[in-house]
Structure 1
Amino acid sequence: MSAHDQLLVVIDPVARRSDGESVRIAKDVLCGGSEAKILLPEGPEDFARALARRGSRRPVVVGDDRALLRAVALLYRDRWLGNGALSLVPVGPAPAIALAHSLGVPKGAVAAARAVLDGSVRRLDLLVDESDGVVVGDLTIPAVGSGYPAGAGSLREVWRSLVRGLARPMPAPLARPHRLRVEVDGVLLTDLDREVESVTIRAVGGRAEVVVRPAHPLRPGLLVEPLTAKALTVTVAGPDFRYRADTTITGPVRTRTWTLRAGAWGLTLPSATGT
């Protein structure tokens, strides 16, 4: 049996609790078509140790977007992703696996597991900050009071806040713009003398696509033509701000630089879409 057929299947504990039937189906398909070693970590530390024991086997994560992002971050810091590829079987409620599907991973445990066995590797870009933090999807810097609780560490806390809000009417928080300095490849896009509603950064076609939405100087909330740019490095600085990288809210920080790493990681996708 070739090394391609030797898999290290790491099943996230959240997936086991949320949808045991999909996990069972994924295991059956993967074990039926490969020599698969199954690991059942109980938490983040076990998850990291499981990936570290991959040897020459291809790592496969069975779990939601958080499990995918955790694996990408760990393998990137291990400097393995440059040549290796990760496979994923998404398991969880639709909002929790939206990122996986947006990347091209099939819906349904059977289709996703078959893609692991028969698919091909597609190289994807990453945004990486100076602390080796990685961003797979979107990165956003929301205005203060734009709906994210102070000190929130993840979208789970945001979700809980929304649920509580449904239970009892609460006034909508007033969004207050930021004063931020945004540089793209060393060129100033906006400075501290101009308030902005939000900054969005995402990897698109080998470049970081930056969209800055300025605040209207007289009528808050009125749309203003956004400032856009494409670059390899983006630096944001200013008074304490929080940012959301994929599913995690980080901060407050006063400066952060993200660098586009083209083709920094590989994801196994169905052959029809993996080029």
Structure 2
Amino acid sequence: MSAHDQLLVVIDPVARRIDGESVRIAKDVLCGGSAAKISLPESPEEFARALARRGQRRPVIVGDDRALLRAVSLLHRDRWLGDGALGHVPVGADVHLAHALGVPPGPVAAARAVLDGGVRRLDLLVDESDGVVVGDVTIPAVAPTAPAAPGPCPDAPPELPAHGPAPLDPPPAAVPVAAGGLRHAYRTLLRGLVRAPARQPSAPRPHRLRVEADGALLCDLDQEVDAVTLRTLHPHAPGRAEVTVHPRVPGPPLTATATTITVSGPDFRYRADTQPTGPVRTRTWVVRAGAWGLTLP
């Protein structure tokens, strides 16, 4: 039996909880067509250990996009991606990235692609800290903080129950109120009835970023930008990535293709695939052409 037929099927615990039936179907198809060893990790640490002990078996991930990205990151750090090929059966709530890469929907079709498909080499974005991106990087505008809800005036009297005050037994004796005390009570009542107008949420704040594509300057710190996106272009332009800058001023976005993209400026956060990252002051991504293999129909 060839090494291609020897599989290590790592089933993500989230997939088992969300859609156990699809997991069972995928496992039956994979085991029926190969010598598959099944791994059922219960934590990210066990997930990593299972991949590290794969031996000569070809790893197959059954899970959502996060499980796929975790496997790609671990295998990249293990320097295995350049030689091997990964199989994937998408199961879970978020599987958009897997389908965008070409993995067919449905556990049967995806499992058959693992068994009978071919290896397609795909690009990766790798940053200077050895983080990897399979799909997109997004640097969005800074979300505003939610305004606090207006509350009653500190001097306002306590609110009464909907059915009114409870009767006192016995009723208190009448107490004369001086003129000054009456004015104070009136002002307190008005303060309790008047509420400050609700503050409207502010618009997202733009960035001031310096963006360079293969050394060419797309925008500098004197320009406000609403967002910056990076996207690998496979299969349309393998080995290159597209960077798009959305300026705050009206006008078309600024775009370029490059193999190295550097973004710098005041602290900014970004999303690499589905993972929020940062804050950082500078980050450089380099396109690694054909850096990993995925078995596809």
Classify the TM-score, shorter chain: 0.7 to 0.9
Q: Which residue of 2 aligns with 1:30?
A: 30
Structure 2 counterpart of 1:42 = 42
Kindly report structure 1 stretches of 4+ aligned residues shifted beyond 3 Å: 170-173
d(CA) in 1 for partners of 2:289 and 2:57?
25
Note if 1:117 corresponds to 2:115.
Answer: yes
3-state SS of the aligned residue for 1:30? Answer: helix
Counterpart residue number, 2:292: 265
Structure 1 residues 26, 139: closer, same or farther in 2, change over 3 A? same
TM-score normalised by L of structure 2: 0.79
Write out per-residue CA displacement over residues 213-238 of structure 1, whole angstroms, 9 at most, x where no aligned residue: 1111xxxxxx4211111111000000
Between the aligned partners of 2:60 and 2:202, the Cα distance in structure 1 is 41
1:221-260 equivalences in 2 (<5 Å) = 223-260=250-287
Which residue identity is paired with 1:184? A
Q: How many residues align?
A: 241
Partner SS, residue 16 of structure 1: helix
Determine helix, strand or coil for the equivalent of 1:176.
Answer: coil
Could you tell me which residue of structure 1 aligns to residue 211 of structure 2? 182
Deviation at 1:173, TM superposition (A): 5.3
Residues 184/147 of structure 1: CA separation in 2 closer, same or farther (3 Å cut) = farther
Q: Are 2:235 and 1:208 equivalent residues in the alignment?
A: no
Q: Deviations over 1:171-198 (max 9, x none)?
A: 6651111000011112211100001111
SS at match of 2:280: strand
- Code of the residue aligned with 1:28 in structure 2: it is D
Deviations 1:120-168 (A, max 9, x none): 00000000000110111111100111799xxxxxxxxxxxxxxxxxxxx
Cα distance change, pair 173–248 in 1 and its aligned pair in 2 (3 A) = farther
State which of 197, 222, 242 in structure 1 corresponds to 2:226. Answer: 197
Distance of 2:248 and 2:232 partners within structure 1: 24
**2:257 partner letter:** K
Measured at CA, do residues 172 and 61 of structure 1 come closer, stay the same or move farther in structure 2, by a change above 3 Å?
farther
Evaluate the alpha carbon distance shift between residue 265 and residue 15 of structure 1 in structure 2; reply closer, same or farther with a 3 A threshold. Answer: same
Q: Which amino acid aligns with 2:244?
A: V
State how far apart, in whole Å, the 2-side matches of 1:213 and 1:147 are.
22
- Alpha-carbon distance in structure 2 between the residues aligned to 1:203 and 1:5: 31
Which residues in structure 2 correspond to 1:75-154 (within 5 Å)?
A: 75-93=75-93, 96-145=94-143
Residue in 1 that maps onto 2:155: none
1:166 paired residue number:
none
Larger radius of gyration: 2
Within 2, Cα distance between the matches of 1:41 and 1:173? 44
Q: Deviations over 1:83-111 (max 9, x none)?
A: 11100000012xx0010001000100000
- Aligned match of 1:58: 58
In the other structure, the counterpart of 1:71 is 71
AA paired with 2:136? D
The superposition leaves residues 57-87 of structure 1 with CA deviations (integer Å, 9 ceiling, x where unpaired) of 1000000000000000000111100111100
Taking the aligned partners of 2:295 and 2:31, their CA distance within structure 1 comes to 17
**2:8 counterpart letter in structure 1:** L
- 1 CA distance for matches of 2:145 and 2:103? 30
SS of equivalent to 1:193: coil
Matches of 1:89 and 1:17 in 2, distance apart? 15
Sequence identity of aligned pairs in percent?
77
Give the letter aligned to residue 241 of structure 2: A
- Tell me the distance in 2 between the aligned counterparts of 1:250 and 1:34: 39
Distance 1:171 1:31 in 2: 58
> Is there any run of 5+ residues in structure 2 with no aligned partner, and where?
147-198
- The 1-side partners of 2:28 and 2:200 are apart by 49
Per-residue deviation, 1:115: 0.4
CA distance in 2, matches of 1:172, 1:37: 53
Aligned equivalents of 1:185 and 1:241: distance in 2?
21
3-state DSSP of counterpart to 1:51: helix
CA distance in 2, matches of 1:147, 1:83: 46
